[in-house]
């Protein structure tokens, strides 16, 4: 049963002040737009300023019989946005807790609150000789929220959960703990040795709704003396299989230390322009002839990848040579870019901007610079336009992009495969026809999050303003998750508006998960239903 809205408002306002609570049902739709075909709206939103506030809110929620859905910045676009798992929850927005508590330059780590954004940390690190790992979700996305979902970025620290060394967590009964050695009185090593002694709990608080993280220590990457981005365009569709076989050994032996991202042509085209409804004469998905023409016009090949080479001069030189050797015989164009080359190219482009060639070069650099920046942990808005591919609304130019607010339809589906040509072939045979059958374009990236696996991130982009498209997108999502899981490739991350598709099972693993949830949060105060089959007890 939901509490009386006035009691709820009063109780929360006592903790955070009236300016930081909103329980007006009439405002929820505007505050919680979604990229999913439909989404739960919360009972309200509360914005704490400290872990003490969070503890008090959790206690009050337990007493009022209401649940809380925590968000760090709520930019979980394509995975449920800021929307809760049920319409009986209050969103606990941790955005005000945005202090960078400490940056240690010698030991290369930062202690941050959940509301710290990628842009904020990047700026704080600018002059410090340290890089953090950035995702493609732009400067406004959080770091903590992304780690809670075991999201990944683009640098050598891209498998982000592996760079966490200690969390502060508020539990459903209002108590607090620090993981690892952070909980040992007088310990000097919580931030540098993640494992502590005894069970290693950090991972347990990700993808679980077992607690609310109010502080996290993340390791930073010392800026290497030398860096080069390797950008490669693969001209033959069928070479993708050989490419995987050739890149895997370089990930395994750490010649390529970062998460190598491979994208198909449609993923790149969708980042560079909107869906050409006129040229396609209203047809969807993109007709094959038009796809070929767009490849030519935009200089896009069937597959491309970006990788980063870090180290001293000799290490980067050796890695370049090894990568070149590995790709020998493939019909591809490999280039290496570094800051010096980019600056030189930009100077030439500026001087020749009055010529078509100069304008084209400027355009290419506008795309290349953010992609190279990401390999050095620089967040950018440049990747967000891809979310607008099938939308018919204009992309806003006078404010930060926000796909949910701008009415974009986007759903990510991310199964994981062993990094072999055989598995990739099987996966493509299964997944691509599902997109076609539902009228969507098969946008795909393949990321070596670990050296042995590929996260196959597929994007369903659709026009959310068309009821028919919403139905098709939902059906496509369900079918993709089901067929890939059946083939042995389950998704790595759940969608908050479709948790039934996240692979939560009934086996021994999920029984233990449920027992832990029962012990820590018997009344299901924290995000009921999020990675928790059955939701309310």
Ligand X SMILES: Cc1cc2nc3c(=O)[nH]c(=O)nc-3n(C[C@H](O)[C@H](O)[C@H](O)COP(=O)(O)OP(=O)(O)OC[C@H]3O[C@@H](n4cnc5c(N)ncnc54)[C@H](O)[C@@H]3O)c2cc1C
Residues that bind ligand X (CB under 6 A): 69-79, 82, 94, 114, 135-137, 141-142, 144-146, 148-149, 151-153, 212-213, 383-384, 386-387, 403, 410, 496, 527
Q: Which is nearer to ligand X, 22 or 406 (CB)?
A: 406
Cα→Cα distances 270→203, 273, 277, 391, 444, Å: 34, 6, 13, 11, 11
End-to-end CA distance of the chain: 13
Interatomic CA distance for residues 443 and 513, integer angstroms: 34
Nearest approach, Cβ of residue 114 and ligand X (Å): 4
Nearest approach, Cβ of residue 395 and ligand X (Å): 12
Q: Which is nearer to ligand X, 383 or 510 (CB)?
A: 383
CB atoms within 10 A of CB 271: 22
Q: Which is nearer to ligand X, 370 or 439 (CB)?
A: 370
Q: Which is nearer to ligand X, 152 or 181 (CB)?
A: 152
Nearest approach, Cβ of residue 115 and ligand X (Å): 9
Q: Which is nearer to ligand X, 72 or 86 (CB)?
A: 72
Beta bridge partners of 216: 112, 167
Nearest approach, Cβ of residue 14 and ligand X (Å): 22
Residue appearing with tokens 């006129």: 278
For residues 131, 260, 135, 292, the Cα torsion angle rounded to the nearest 10 degrees is 140
Cα→Cα distances 399→225, 403, 404, 461, Å: 36, 12, 14, 22
Q: What is the DSSP track for 394-433?
A: PPPSSS---TTTTTEEEEEE-BEEESSHHHHHHHHHHHHH
Return left, alpha or beta for 259; rule: phi > 0 is left, psi -120 to 50 is alpha, else beta: beta
Which pair of tokens denotes residue 122? 């990047």
Q: Are strands 130-131 and 212-219 parallel, antiparallel or unpaired?
A: unpaired
Nearest approach, Cβ of residue 41 and ligand X (Å): 15
Q: Which is nearer to ligand X, 36 or 152 (CB)?
A: 152
Instruction: Specify the 3-state DSSP secondary structure of 462.
Output: strand
Count of all residues that appear for the chain in the document = 537
Interatomic CA distance for residues 75 and 150, integer angstroms: 14
Instruction: Answer yes or no: are the C-beta atoms of 182 and 189 closer than 8 Å.
Output: no
Q: Which is nearer to ligand X, 213 or 327 (CB)?
A: 213
Q: Return the closest-CA partner of residue 277 out of 462, 477, 511.
A: 462
Q: Which is nearer to ligand X, 327 or 526 (CB)?
A: 526
Nearest approach, Cβ of residue 113 and ligand X (Å): 9
Interatomic CA distance for residues 489 and 474, integer angstroms: 20
Nearest approach, Cβ of residue 470 and ligand X (Å): 18
Nearest approach, Cβ of residue 140 and ligand X (Å): 8
Nearest approach, Cβ of residue 527 and ligand X (Å): 6
Q: Which is nearer to ligand X, 266 or 387 (CB)?
A: 387
Question: H/E/C letters for each residue in 271-293?
Answer: HHCCCCCCCCCCCCCCCHHHHHH
Q: Which is nearer to ligand X, 484 or 496 (CB)?
A: 496
Nearest approach, Cβ of residue 496 and ligand X (Å): 5
CB atoms within 10 A of CB 479: 17
Interatomic CA distance for residues 265 and 508, integer angstroms: 41
Residue appearing with tokens 């891809």: 386
Nearest approach, Cβ of residue 77 and ligand X (Å): 4
Q: Which is nearer to ligand X, 21 or 144 (CB)?
A: 144
């Amino acid at each position: 049963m939901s509490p009386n809205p006035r009691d709820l408002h009063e109780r929360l306002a006592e903790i955070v002040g009236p300016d930081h609570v909103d329980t007006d049902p009439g405002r929820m739709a505007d505050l919680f737009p979604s990229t999913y075909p439909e989404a739960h709206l919360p009972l309200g939103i509360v914005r704490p300023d400290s872990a003490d506030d969070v503890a008090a809110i959790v206690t009050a929620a337990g007493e009022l019989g209401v649940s809380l859905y925590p968000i760090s910045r709520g930019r979980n676009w394509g995975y449920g946005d800021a929307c809760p798992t049920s319409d009986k929850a209050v969103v606990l927005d941790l955005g005000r807790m945005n202090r960078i508590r400490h940056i240690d330059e010698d030991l290369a780590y930062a202690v941050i609150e959940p509301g710290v954004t990628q842009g904020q940390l990047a700026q704080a690190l600018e002059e410090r000789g340290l890089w953090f790992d950035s995702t493609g979700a732009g400067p406004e996305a959080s770091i903590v929220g992304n780690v809670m979902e075991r999201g990944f970025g683009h640098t050598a620290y891209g498998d982000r959960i592996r760079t966490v060394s200690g969390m502060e967590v508020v539990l459903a009964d209002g108590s607090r703990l620090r993981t690892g050695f952070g909980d040992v009185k007088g310990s000097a090593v919580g931030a540098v040795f993640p494992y502590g002694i005894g069970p290693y709990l950090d991972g347990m608080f990700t993808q679980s709704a077992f607690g609310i993280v109010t502080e996290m220590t993340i390791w930073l990457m010392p800026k290497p003396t030398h860096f080069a981005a390797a950008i490669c365009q693969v001209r033959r569709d069928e070479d993708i299989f050989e490419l995987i076989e050739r890149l895997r050994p370089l990930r395994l032996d750490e010649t390529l230390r970062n998460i190598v991202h491979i994208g198909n042509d449609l993923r790149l085209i969708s980042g560079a322009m909107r869906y050409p409804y006129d040229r396609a004469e209203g047809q969807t998905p993109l007709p094959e002839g038009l796809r070929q023409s767009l490849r030519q016009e935009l200089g896009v090949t069937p597959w491309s990848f970006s990788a980063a080479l870090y180290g001293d001069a000799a290490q980067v030189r050796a890695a370049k040579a090894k990568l070149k050797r590995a790709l020998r015989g493939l019909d591809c164009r490999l280039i290496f870019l570094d800051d010096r080359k980019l600056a030189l190219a930009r100077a030439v482009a500026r001087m020749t901007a009055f010529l078509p060639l100069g304008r084209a070069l400027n355009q290419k650099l506008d795309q290349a610079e953010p992609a190279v920046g990401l390999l050095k942990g620089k967040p950018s808005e440049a990747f967000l336009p891809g979310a607008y591919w099938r939308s018919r609304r204009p992309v806003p130019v006078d404010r930060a992009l926000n796909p949910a607010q701008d009415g974009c339809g986007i759903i990510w589906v991310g199964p994981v495969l062993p990094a072999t040509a055989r598995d990739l072939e099987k996966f493509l045979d299964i997944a691509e026809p599902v997109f076609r059958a539902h009228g969507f374009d098969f946008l795909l990236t393949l990321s070596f999050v670990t050296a042995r696996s590929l996260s196959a991130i597929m994007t369903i982009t659709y026009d959310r303003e068309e009821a028919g498209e919403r139905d098709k997108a939902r059906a496509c999502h369900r079918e993709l998750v089901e067929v890939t899981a059946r083939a042995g490739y389950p998704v790595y991350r759940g969608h908050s508006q479709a948790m039934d598709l996240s692979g939560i099972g009934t086996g021994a693993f999920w029984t233990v998960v449920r027992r832990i949830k029962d012990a820590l949060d018997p009344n299901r105060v924290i995000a009921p239903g999020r990675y928790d089959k059955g939701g309310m007890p």
